Chain A
C-alpha cells in the first residue's frame, strides 16, 4: 500500500525566507511523486512531479523538490518566499502510468508574513 505523510499542517515563513515543506512516502513499488498547490476555493495546480528520471525536479514558480529514496522523502523547497506563495500544498504519490490513483497527504498550509 502507498501512503504520504506531510510533516506540519501549517508552516509560516517571512517574505524572502526559505520555504521547506516536508513530504515522506511509503510505496511497495517505485513511486511517482507530485506536489500540487491549492489556492482558496480553487482546484489543484501541478507544481512539479517526479517520474523516475532526475531526482532533483524543478517546477513552476521557483519551486523544486528532491527525491531521496534512502529517506523516502520528496521535500518541496523554494529559496525565497513571496506573498503570493501563501496557499495549501499537497504531496501525492501514485503507482505511475495509465492514470493511476493519487494518494494525497494531509496538506500543509503555507503562510507568508511581510
Chain B
C-alpha cells in the first residue's frame, strides 16, 4: 500500500514553454501533498505544501506564479512549471500523506531538462 506515482518520469522541453507534472496517490487518499526539488548530489528542497481543495503554501523563495500547484482531488496534485528556463532543470519529487498521518510517501520523481 501507499504507492505514489508521477508522470512523466522525464521530460525535455524548450525554453519558454510550460510543463505539467502529475502526482497521484494510487491506493490511498492524500489530504496533503508536497512538492520537492532536488539538485544533483544534494538533499531535497521543499517547494510547497498543498492540501486538497486549498491553495498551496509555498516555501520562502519559491515563486508561486512560476510553479503553479493544483490539488483538485484527494488522489491528484499537479505542478506546472510556467515559462520554463534552463535553470529550472532539476529532479522534481512529490510526496503524499494520509489525513492525520505522519509519514510521507514519495513518488519516483520527474527529471526536467529545459533546453
Contact = CB atoms under 8 A, between A and B. Distances in A.
A45 B106 contact: yes
Contacts, number: 61
B102 A49 contact: yes
Interface residues on B, range: 20 to 34
Interface stretch (A17-25, A36-44, A74-82): A36-44
Interface residues on A, range: 20 to 34
A99 B31 contact: yes
A2 interface: no
A36 B109 CA distance: 14
B102 A94 contact: yes
A101 B60 CA distance: 14
Contacts of A105: 43
Nearest to A45: B106
B44 A99 contact: no
Contact of B100 (A45, A49, A97): A97
A10 to B, nearest CB: 10
A101 B34 contact: yes
Contacts of A97: 100-102
B53 to A, nearest CB: 14
A98 interface: yes
Contact of B93 (A44, A46, A49, A106): A44
A107 B109 contact: no
A46 B108 contact: no
Interface of A: 32, 34, 36, 41-46, 49, 51, 90, 94, 96-102, 104-107
13 contacts: A34-B103, A41-B109, A43-B4, A44-B95, A44-B106, A45-B106, A46-B103, A90-B43, A96-B102, A98-B32, A100-B102, A102-B34, A102-B46
Nearest 3 pairs of A and B residues by beta carbon: A99-B32, A99-B97, A43-B106
